[in-house]
Structures are given as C-alpha cells and as structure tokens.
Amino acid sequence: MTATANMEGNYSETLAAFAANLTFDAIPPAVVERTVNLYVDWLGSALGGKGARPVESIARFARTMGPADGPAEVLIDGSRTTPFFAAMVNGAASHFVEQDDVHNGSVFHPAAVVFPVALALAQQLNASGRDMIAAAVVGYEVGIRVGEFLGRSHYKVFHTTGTAGTVAAAATAGRLLKLSPAAMLDAFGSAGTQAAGLWEFLRDAADSKQLHTAMAAANGLMAAQLAADGFKGAKRILEGSKGMAAGMSSDADPAKLLDRLGERWATVETSFKYHAACRHTHPAADALIDVLVKHKLRAQDIARVVTHVHQGAIDVLGAVVKPQTVHQAKFNMGTVLALVGHYGYAGVNEFEQHFLADPVVAFRGKVEMEYDEEVDRAYPARWIGKVTVYTTDGRVLQGRVDEPKGDPGNTLSRDEIAVKLKQLVKFSGALDEAQAAQLLDGAWQVASQPRVGALLGSLTAAAA
C-alpha cells in the first residue's frame, strides 16, 4: 500500500511509522538478496579503511573515550567497544577507499552510515540476521528518500551522506530497538537537528569526509537510543518551517519522502562502485574505457579528453585542480581518467602507486570537464557518461555509457563483489586470503543466522 501523509501533512510522521512498522516478511526476497549483497560489499570498504590516517585518528579518539571492551566490534582491528563508538569507527572506515555504494537519485552513500549501526546494535542485542537486514532496509529506504527530498540545491553545499545519513542511521537503530512510530519520530527529530556535513573540506584535502560518516552513524544511533529512553525530538524535522529543508535546501520536495513507500524499494536502486573514486568520475571513466577498447588506443595516443558532465560533477570535482593526496586525487577527473587510460582501472592500488606519477600527471592536464545539458537533465536519476577524445593523429572519437559499471542495470555479480572485497582487504592488510574467504562464507548467509555475532573474532580463532 502506498503511504500518504496524514491530514496535517506531517511527512516525517508517516515516514517514521513506515520505519517502525516494516517487518522482514514484508520485504520482497529480491530486496533481501540485494541488501545482503550491499552488506557484503560494505564489509570490503569498512575493512579497506584499516591503516588510513584519518580513520586511525578517529579510532584512537574512540579508544580514548570509550571502554576497552564491549558488545560491538570495530572491524579495522577486531577490538570491542560500545555500539556508539563501533558505529563511529566503522562509519569512518567505510568511506575512505571510495568504493562504498551509492544511490544515484539521492546522491547518497547508504552503506557507510546504515551498516555500521546495524551491525553494532545487532551484536549488542543478539539480534537475528533477519532483524539486521530489515533494519538495514529501513535505513536505506528512509535515507534515500530524505536525500531525494532535500534535492540538488542541498548537495551543492552539503554532503548528503552526512545529513540524510544521520536520519538513515537513526531509522536503522530505531528498527533494531523496536521503537514505536511515535518514538521513531522522536529519533528522526534528534537525528535531523544533528545532521551536518559540508563540502568545503575538498578544497584543502581535509579529513572531514570520514568524520561525516563517523558522526552520522554515531549520532543517528544516539538519537534512537535517546528516543527509546523517552527523549523528545521535533515532530516535523524534515519539512517543518525551521527544519532540515528550510535550512539546507531551496528545492525540497516533500512528496519524495513518501514516494510509493512499501511499493518502490529504493534499496535495489543502489549502485555498487567499481572504481575507487568519487562516483561523479565513474560515468566518464567508463565512457573513456569504451573508446579505448573500441579503437584499440593507448594513453599515449590521446591528445585531449573532454568529459561532458552534469553540474553536480563540476560543483564537487571542480574544487580539486592539483590533488596533493590520494584521497583528494579521487575527486579529480583528470587523475581518474589518467589511471583508466594507463591501467584500464582506477582501483585502490592504482591510486596508491601512481596518482602522482609523471605520465598520470601529464595525462591529467589533458582532461577538462564541460557542462552538458542532456547529462544534466538526466541527473541524478541517471548518470550518463559522455566523452570526446582527440587523438594525436587527428581523430575525434565519441564515447558514451548510459549505465556505468555497478548501476542496477549493469550491476556487480556476487563473484565480482567477492573479488572486490578480497582486493580491498589485501590492500589494507585487514585479513589474509583464508580469513577473507571465511568471512565471505558467513556474510552471504547473514539473513539466515539466528544471531549476529562477532565477525573477526571467529576468524582469528580459526586461523590460530
């Protein structure tokens, strides 16, 4: 049944009721399967963040402030702490290698804020895999709709994963805590008033991106636990006259908050990230690969590349002209296309080893972004990739992809997700090959597990 707002137009209330009442049995099997795939994909990103300087900094803070033991697991080192601090560290780790999932229409990375909360609370509560997956679906469905509601104007200044992500995390936690609809609405109110995340960090290679996901996960969890204790939150935090949209958007559309709730499953619209870079670079990267393969070109054969992009790509990527760090390079169109041109893929190892290599820097200077009306009109529902390639022998070649690798219509198989996880844990040193295989065996079966227990503790014991 399609949800509609009540007579007072309280969209927040209707969305909260959906979040509180959704049961595992009401979720179609295809949505459950997709959610499990997204969970396994997230594990790779979370483990891939091990050793990253900003992630380790947040982890040191958590160890200083939190207990040395607890019911929830920190994935980068297998330590135990409270759900609050585990969600914080796992949220930070999830968003470092730039291969966590993304929902196109909301320009939102759900996994980085949903699964850190779902796993931490499930471990604390001895919840079943069914309950954890149901809570994750709630987080995806709520967070995606909040991102769509806030609109394109929001994304120009605010990092949607930090803002909508805080509400998504609260919804996830609230479902595991079995909040009533009224308490879930309180959780939304407390989450929304804490929602934050600004794009300014990209200009000087600051570490804020990991802080955004860390605090969205932790603050959303806190909002739900406060609501469980009777703490009251604003009842119209999303659409109210002093709510999130009022302060953060000029094109908010409240109808998107309730878009076919229970009929349209936004979770299955979520894309996997193939390249280890900002998603705004992926369409152009895939379009360039299309040209390279079709015309059997090498990077040395290319004199110039024009990428035809939507305005959002210019807004985000335009701030990074000469990247100084690996992470900043992942937000530079020229670097991503240079890696694709030279290596056929912009993965974690390609960035780590080559982002400042002379051939990559030289190619970077050949790339420019140009606003394209067709691409912009399709965005954010569709992320079209178009490039014009000028060769050194005078040819002008066109490349285009309508669904970049990882989109629902061009998705990753379970085998490809497994390969991706193995690559990421090898990159970070989080697990050895045998441990990665064992983790995968259990993770694919999460929905049938009677209790979500430790993930890494059992691997260590098995390897000993």
- 3-state SS track over 133-163: HHHHHHHHHHHHHHHHHHHHHHHHHECHHHH
Give 346's contacts (C-beta < 8 A, 6+ positions apart).
Answer: 275, 276, 277, 281, 285, 336, 339, 340
pLDDT at 460: 59
DSSP letter, residue 198: B
Phi, psi values for residue 23, rounded to 5°: -110, 160
3-class secondary-structure state, position 410 = helix
Cα dihedral: 128, 134, 140, 141 (round 10): -170
The answer to whether the CB of 424 falls within 8 A of the CB of 47 is: yes
Give residue-wise pLDDT tens across range 231-287.
Answer: 999 999 999 999 999 999 999 999 999 999 999 999 999 999 999 999 999 999 999
Stretches in the chain below the pLDDT threshold 70: 1-9, 460-464
pLDDT at 1: 33
Give 61's contacts (C-beta < 8 A, 6+ positions apart).
Answer: none
Measure CA 329 to chain center.
18
Cα separation of 22 and 454, whole Å? 26
Cα separation of 384 and 330, whole Å? 19
The CA-CA-CA angle for residues 425, 82, 57, to 5°, reads 55
Structural domains for the chain:
11-269 (1.10.4100.10), 279-405 (3.30.1330.120)
pLDDT at 286: 98
What percent of the chain stands above pLDDT 70?
A: 97
H-state helical runs in 49-128: 53-65, 83-94, 111-125
Cα separation of 362 and 308, whole Å? 21
State the DSSP H helix or E strand holding residue 176, giving kind and residue range, or none if neither. Answer: helix 160-176
pLDDT at 458: 72
3-class secondary-structure state, position 200 = helix
DSSP letter, residue 444: T
Cα separation of 242 and 189, whole Å? 12
pLDDT at 6: 43
Cα separation of 217 and 195, whole Å? 10
What is the tally of helices (H) and strands (E) in the chain? 20, 6
pLDDT at 206: 94
pLDDT at 462: 47
pLDDT at 457: 80
